[in-house]
Every structure is written in structure tokens, then in C-alpha cells.
Structure 1
Amino acid sequence: MRIGFIGTGSMGSTLIEAFIQSGALNPDRIIATNRTISKVERLASDYPGLEAAGSNIEVAQNCSILFLCVKPTDYKNVIHDIKPAIRQEQIIVSITSPVLVRHLEEQLPGKIAKVIPSITNYVFSGATLCIYGDRLEFEDKELLENLLSHISAPIQVSEEHTRISSDLSSCGPAFLAFFVQKFIQAAVEETGISEAEATQLASEMVLGTGKLLTTGGFTPASLQKKVSVPGGITAEGLRMMEKELCGMFNNLVRTTHAKYEEDLEKVEALFKDIKDD
């Protein structure tokens, strides 16, 4: 079984490298292409055996599972290129959030899935969000999740909750990193601790906290309760944060959802054009 990738930009290359480095796939089981061919040629050079294809249709013709790792605006050309080659038994996986399963099911005869990865998959951690079309059988889902389990925890979500699920698992690392960055900057500015030392301490804290919230058995609420003592320093800090951050995360969710709805409208118009062609 060969796995195909159309698009080897940031997330496409992350998935390819994670699959190879985790041992999920040998390079010779991967065929990939990119609009800028030099990008996929670099991957082929780094991972001997990986095939750099010269066209989208070449990838589609030579794989059992096809990952579409392209921007929404690129789907019209990609679908035009691959449609003649897609087979009913192929699994087509889109990683593009606003492209809905029904959009692809209307255009392609294959088994359609949507998988939203995370940068955390690069270190074989975090979640991959899985949304399945009606054509996938149990065995297809099992095959896909077995592959993804090498680099993540595959979690099935409803397409209705794609955006908020992505906020938490895929955008979340950037949001959390922003919080940590600001914490470090404040520590340096207020106390004179070196940035390197503050960064090391904060990074180790995030790693340990993640373990407590996963394998450690804590919830966010129970962890706060465990660390803070009534009237103590942590409790005072939490009280201040509760006051200062009130409503901020609600605004964050509203902001990401507004952008998603804007993108979805553009995708709907794009696929209407494809249907009308």
C-alpha cells in the first residue's frame, strides 16, 4: 500500500516526516508532489526512497490513501487534475478545515475523510481530528486511525464542531505558546532573570503540565486546586487572572469562528464554480 501526498508545504511535510520518523511508513511507500517541485525534491533527498512525482494525477494513480494538503483556493485545480484517476476504493483525506466532506463527495468517487492534524504530531503527540464520509467502511477507518496513531491520538469529531475542535488541538499550540512567550517576557522585564533561563523553566513547566493533564489523571480544575492553597501566592495569581482574562477566551473563539465562516463562504463559492464547470 502506498500513501500519496498532494502538497508538501508546512503541514504536508510535517505529516510526511512524522510518519517516516515514527516508523509508521518507510519512505518508499510515499509518493508526493507539490506545486513548487523543489520542495518535494528536498524531501526525496532527505528520505531516500520517497518518490517525487511530477504531477497531481501521477500521485493519484499510484496510491491507496491520498492526502490533500493544499489551501482551499487550490482545490479547483487539484480536483480537475485528479478526478479522472480517482477510484471508488481509494481513501481521499483532506486536511483543510473549511473544505467539507460533502464538497469532495460531490466531486470525487473515492471514500472521503477529513483529518485535521496538529504541529504536535511532529513529536508524535497531540490529537488528529477525524471526520468520515458515509462511504468509509469500518475497516477503512481502522486503517486510517492505525496509521495516525503512530504520530497522534486519533479522535473522531463531528464536522459541526470542526472549528472549535481545531481551535483546541491545532491552533491551541500557537495560542499556548503565545501565553508562555508573554509570561517569559514579563518575568524578564519584572525581575531581570535571563530569557534563556526563564524559557527553560517555562518550557519544562508546559511539558510537565501536559503530562499531568493526560497520563497524570488531573483535570484543569483539579490541577489548579492541587497547586493553589487558599490565601497563598498561586491562589492570588489565579484570582488576578480570572479578573483580567474574563471574556478573552470567548472572544478568541468568536474570532476564529468568524474567520472560519468567512473561509467557508469562499469554499462554497469555489465548489459551486467547480460544479458548474
Structure 2
Amino acid sequence: MFKKVSFVGAGSMAEAIITGMLAKGFLKSNEISVTNKENKERLERLVNLYQVDSSSDRGKVIKGADIVILSMKPKDIKDALHAIKGYIEPNQIVVSVLAGVSTDYISVELGLNAPVVRAMPNTSATIGCSATAIAGGKYANNEHIEKVKELFQTIGTTAVVDEADLHAITGLSGSGPAYIYYFAEAMEQAAKDAGINEEVAKELIIQTFVGAAQMLKTTKEEPAVLRKKITSPGGTTQAGVETLEKYKSQEALIACIKQAGARSVELGSAFQARSSTLK
């Protein structure tokens, strides 16, 4: 069990993780500490909503933490690492939830061989339903990775992957909820155009997504198999699917995921280059 988890950065992902951990009872509010660069209103919000500890004194926040979670914006990572490097202890696990920033870059900028682990959760962490990919850096051993898994399993499911795969996974599950919401928006608009009551439509759409996800999880059948089971020749579903195919919807979604992954590579290229230079 952890005695303290500290966050450097207080954005939406930090809040999602905090919400999930507290909801699961994994940590108490006074076992979570948060700091950020300059947004004091943001810290006050987290303190007021979740009764966590906060301080602009980075040393105070980091001291005694089992895990230090880096959750600032990627563009602020260099300054943040330089600001905290004097406080990080070799036995602390540094966890980054930043897209594109390599573990090597973090280790080099911190200037010590502390274990660094990258985690790519998504915002469903807020309700304990995140899909989180985890990858350890060169100084992270199995024990460190297991501890990070234990933490992130409080906010959903986890999978340990190679760090090289995190760019693609960022586009897949990291950004994935946004794609689902995008489809939900379209379904709501279609229902509105058809004159269906908005509240009725919303409930039906939500349950449709929930039911389909549960079918995938429970039956273990391939998506194509489940789709074909409800696509009767000449029926309504076939008419709808044929329209999706006409507009190349599947190709568009695949391209969407690839482009999000490519953006992760682009965001991380400078950090990769710097870590290679300084090794």
C-alpha cells in the first residue's frame, strides 16, 4: 500500500486519476499531494473538491511520496523536471502520463537513475473505467511496474507494453473516448433530425454503447462476428452499414487513430532527440 502519491501538474488527467483513486478508496485525501507551475485557482479547486493537500513548495509535495506523477503539459516538461530534480529521491517511482515524452528524456533531465514509468490512461479514469497502457524505462524493474499497475488498476484496466508502442496506443485508447463521444454526437443529431425526444434518444444511445461494449467483453467474439449476427440480408442494419461503407467510415476511423499516433510521435520527437544527445 502506498503512503503518499504526489502530482506535479494539476490538469484534467491529474483530476481524473485523483477522482478514481478516491472513489475506489485506494488512498485517502491526505495521502495525495498536488503542485503546479502557477495556476493557484486550479490547486484551490482540487483542494476544495477532493480535500487533497497542495502547495507551491515542490519539495514539500514530493517529499515522502512513493510515486511522483508528472501530469503537466508536455511543453512544460523540461522546466518542471529542472524544478523538481533536486527533490526526487532514487527510491521514488516517477510516473509520466504525458504523451510522447520518453522515459530516457525524463531520466536524463532529472540527472539520476530513478525508476521512470510511462502510463497512458484516458479520462474514463474519473469513473474507474480507464484503459491504461504502462511501459517501464531502463531503470524500472518488474517491482516498480507492478506498483504502478496496482495504482492504475484502481481507475480501470491496465496492460504492460513496450514503450515503442505507446505512440500508437495513445491514438487508440488514450484518445479513444473522444471518438466514441464523436459517434454519440452524430447519433444524437440523427435522433433529433428524426424528431425523437432528446432525453429518450440519449438514454437509448448510452445503453446501446454500454450493451455493445459488454457484448464484446462477455462473449469474447470478434467485432465482425457480432456485427454480422445483427445484419440480416436486406434488413435495416444492412442498409445502415452499407451507408457507413459508402462514406468509408471504417477507413476514416483507422486514419483518425493513425493520425493521433503520428501526432504523439511528432510531439515526442524533440524529447527523443534531446535524450539521445545527452546520453
User: Is the pair's TM-score, using the shorter chain for normalization, greater than 0.5?
Assistant: yes
8 Å CA contact retained: 2:170, 2:260: no
Secondary structure of the structure 2 residue equivalent to 1:192: coil
Q: Matched residues in 1 for 2:32 and 2:160: separation?
A: 25
- Partner AA of 2:155 in structure 1: I
Aligned to 2:238: 235
1:128-277 map, 5 Å: 128-189=132-193, 191-245=194-248, 247-268=251-272
Q: Matched residues in 2 for 1:57 and 1:121: separation?
A: 27
1:81-120 map, 5 Å: 81-108=83-110, 109=112, 110-120=114-124
Deviation at 1:140, TM superposition (A): 1.7
- Partner AA of 2:198 in structure 1: E
8 Å CA contact retained: 1:60, 1:85: yes
Q: CA distance change for structure 1 residues 272 and 73 in 2, over 3 Å: closer, same or farther?
A: farther
Moved more, 227-236 or 145-154: 227-236
Q: Matched residues in 2 for 1:126 and 1:3: separation?
A: 18
Identical amino acids, percent of aligned pairs: 27
Moved more, 252-261 or 141-150: 252-261
Q: Matched residues in 2 for 1:242 and 1:129: separation?
A: 31
Q: CA distance change for structure 1 residues 257 and 136 in 2, over 3 Å: closer, same or farther?
A: closer
Q: Matched residues in 2 for 1:212 and 1:226: separation?
A: 12
Deviation at 1:163, TM superposition (A): 2.2
Q: Deviations over 1:183-226 (max 9, x none)?
A: 2212221x211222212211111111111111343321121022
Q: Matched residues in 1 for 2:183 and 2:261: separation?
A: 20
Q: Matched residues in 1 for 2:265 and 2:50: separation?
A: 38
Secondary structure of the structure 1 residue equivalent to 2:232: coil
Q: Deviations over 1:11-70 (max 9, x none)?
A: 11111111111111111111111231232222222333x211223232222311000001
Q: Matched residues in 1 for 2:273 and 2:62: separation?
A: 25
Aligned to 1:19: 21
- Partner AA of 1:46 in structure 2: L
8 Å CA contact retained: 1:72, 1:267: no
Structure with the larger RCO, 1 or 2 (CA within 8 Å, 6+ apart): 2
Q: Matched residues in 1 for 2:209 and 2:84: separation?
A: 43
Which 4+ runs in 1 deviate beyond 4 A? Answer: 268-273
1:22-41 map, 5 Å: 22-35=24-37, 36-41=39-44
Q: Matched residues in 2 for 1:3 and 1:24: separation?
A: 11
8 Å CA contact retained: 2:167, 2:262: no
Q: Matched residues in 1 for 2:180 and 2:158: separation?
A: 21
- Partner AA of 2:208 in structure 1: M
8 Å CA contact retained: 2:121, 2:174: yes
Q: CA distance change for structure 1 residues 151 and 254 in 2, over 3 Å: closer, same or farther?
A: closer
- Partner AA of 2:205 in structure 1: A
Q: Matched residues in 2 for 1:89 and 1:186: separation?
A: 54
Deviation at 1:4, TM superposition (A): 0.5
Deviation at 1:162, TM superposition (A): 1.2
Q: CA distance change for structure 1 residues 257 and 151 in 2, over 3 Å: closer, same or farther?
A: closer
Instruction: Give ranges in structure 2 of 5+ residues lacking alignment.
Output: none
